Structure 1
Amino acid sequence: MRRNHAGNAVRLKHVKIITKPNGRRFTYLAVPGHKLVRLPDAPKDSAEFLMAYSAALAAAKTDKQGRKVATGSIAAAIVSYQLSAEFCGMAITTRQQRRGHLSKIADTWGTARLSDLRASHIEADIAKLQPHPANNRRKVWRSLCVWAKKSRLIANDPSAEVEKAKTAKSDGFKPWTNEEIAAFREHWPVTKPQRLAMELIYWTAARASDSVRIGPGMVTKDGWLSFRQRKTGSEVSIPFNRALPDFALDMQADLDLLMAAISHAPRHMTWLVTARGKPRSEKAFSSWFAEAAADAGIAGKSAHGLRKSRAMALAEAGATAHQIAAWTGHESLSEVQRYSKAADRKRILSSTNKEQNLETISTKNGNLSANA
């Protein structure tokens, strides 16, 4: 299966159309080494066609996949769902995460009929998981069932009745403090790749999945560092070789340190490379950077924490929630608004005595009264 990027359509592999002498056209699945399988005379993006196609394709690859797929089963629906425009339109990382859950669902429930699926089955599936993984699995079930109902494969969505698991409140990744950033800089000189990684993430607020792909080719002629986020697919542009916005003027020193670190990087399509000059992978990078932080005496902090630190620094510098989101690439303003509120409280509590003194005015009798 391939995607037609121009039309954003899904192209199905091994689909062959045969025209008979009388002019009638028939559609078949033509997998090399297997007999032709007749497919329905229905639009290729219809649920009926996709279900029949996925079942026939899975049957042709039974020896390779080790799993039989029957028409109308949950496994067949999963195969069809992964061929749908809804699934193919998701970000790459989202599809990768969901495929893992879908594979496990197919292992356990694949042979059951989709029409027999009930909320109790989904609840039984997620009950064996911890709260956060359970909610992730529930999200996958929801997405699958919403698509199946929309495609008229089921009349009712059983996943709608399944409640989210209760989770303990958590702030997630902890941001780095100014002291920890200074300690990392003190430990790793500007000539080291660990320092470049830290400065790059701290300035751009990029996720690890994006930071390993950032390089000189992403710097535009007018001085923006622009890249498309792997998680969301949206484009982010950050000031680089250009004048900084007013709220970021005091951050020039951070940008200068990044430039200094880049000047020591080898010439490559990406700035973060291995000792052999190859781009770093996302998974390897995260553990490599965690080790670099631990070597600098910084425990329990990750690369993602630097992303939060930049957002906090922008908020404390007076950037609005929309300006922070434009810099960091957040799709939702809810998280960046928390940074803004925290920064506003700090500014209020940090005001000087002069700012706190109430202005006074003279009354006609010469007494002073507070001007509210």
Structure 2
Amino acid sequence: GHIIELFKASANYRAYSEAYRGTLGRHSDALKDCYGSAPFFEIKPHHIRSDLSQLSPHAANDRLKIWRLLCQYAYDHNFADHVASDGIKRGKLPKTDGHRPWSTADVNAFRAKWEIGSVQRLCFELLFWTAARTIDAVTLTPSMIGADGVLTFTQAKTGGKAYVPWNCALPGWAKHFETDRTLLKACITSTTFTFLETSNGRTRSRKGLSNIISAGAAEAKLTGLSAHGLRKSRLTAIAEAGGSASAIMSWGGHKSLKEAEDYVSTANRKSVLIGTEQKQKSANTTPKSANKLRN
């Protein structure tokens, strides 16, 4: 437990992003609860492997991160004569597509359930338009909108900049996105600080935001959907509309071109199987709530 407390008080730990510190903090607290009384210099590789074996593949890899950091810290500061985590490799993860993107039908069903004016609808529309992660979405404010009409923010996870068209003209390939932007603005009332602040004027928590979307989807009879899936939906929509990998990087704030190119590659493979008429129909699908705004 002593090594964990020293590490969490170190400059290296404080330099990590809030999101990463949250992950490390959860696992270091778990280690302290389970092994807090054990002398760190007695930790051996088989102890670490035994701990990891009790976790799911994703959780085990996250746990290994804190083990590596603690073991290196203990060695560097003469609390151990070896780095016990050396040689322990990350486990293989099961192949998965991760968070499922919301389909047009999913989006329409959620909008039909939650009318403009509800907290659920505001949270949904902001996430869907900005493609922000929940940790960033709860911090977005009107002050981030520049004179050029672009909402610009720095992502907590990667440190990369994201650029979201807010008041500016949309690029040609994104003209049919205007309905989504109009719906978002219809949801936003006067704010004193953040777009998603609570009724008490406090910043909403990322966990609270995630729960609002998950619970709202469940009440709309939608299953397997998450807040992060809305991010994937927007970036997928950009690719399918003809936006470039650079456009996806700018809107989504990616620091790696590879991830953005994956969206474009998937969209291109799908496009060869979809007729022009069907693609046009999909692009022009407008929920009833959008029609009401226009009338």
Give the secondary structure class of the aligned counterpart of 2:85: helix
The 1:314/1:149 distance shift into structure 2, 3 A limit, reads: farther
2:37 is aligned with 1:103: no
**Are residues 227 and 293 of structure 1, via their aligned partners in 2, closer, same or farther at CA, if it must alter by over 3 Å?**
same
Residues 71 and 84, structure 2, Cα contact 8 Å, conserved in 1: yes
User: 1:242-257 alignment to 2 at 5 Å?
Assistant: 242-257=168-183
1:344 to 2:279 alignment:
no
Partner of 2:286: none
Residue of structure 2 equivalent to 1:300: 224
**SS of equivalent to 1:237:** strand
Are residues 1:186 and 2:116 paired? no
Instruction: Count matched residues.
Output: 277
Question: C-alpha displacement at 1:275, in angstroms?
Answer: 4.2
Of 104, 118, 121, 2:44 maps to 118
TM superposition shift of 1:303: 1.4
3-state SS of 1:250 partner: helix
Q: Where in structure 2 are the equivalents of 1:177-216 lying within 5 Å? A: 177-216=103-142
Identity over the aligned pairs, expressed in percent? 39
Deviation at 1:306, TM superposition (A): 0.6
Amino acid at match of 2:69: S
> C-alpha separation between the residues in 2 aligned to 1:337 and 1:184?
29
Structure 2 residue 5 is matched with structure 1 residue 85: no
Q: Which has the larger radius of gyration?
A: 1
- 1: CA distance, partners of 2:246 / 2:49: 39
* 231, 239, 242: which one aligns with 1:318: 242
CA gap of 1:258–1:142, structure 2 versus 1, over 3 A, is same
Q: Which runs of 5+ in 1 are unaligned?
A: 1-74, 354-372
SS at match of 1:173: coil
Matched, 1:233 2:189: no
Deviates more, 1:125-134 or 1:308-317: 125-134
* Pair 1:339–1:80, CA change in 2 (3 A): same
The TM-score with structure 2 as length reference comes to 0.83
Which structure has more helix as a fraction of its residues?
A: 2
> 1:88/1:277 Cα in 2 relative to 1: closer, same or farther (>3 Å)?
closer
Consecutive unaligned residues of structure 2, counting only runs of 5 or more, are: 278-295
Partner residue in 2 for 1:45: none
Task: Report 1:1-372 matches (<5 A).
Answer: 75-149=1-75, 154=80, 156-262=82-188, 265-350=189-274
RMSD: 2.5
Within 2, Cα distance between the matches of 1:285 and 1:127? 32
Change (3 A) 1:154 1:332: farther
Amino acid at match of 1:250: H
Q: Match of 1:282, as an amino acid?
A: R
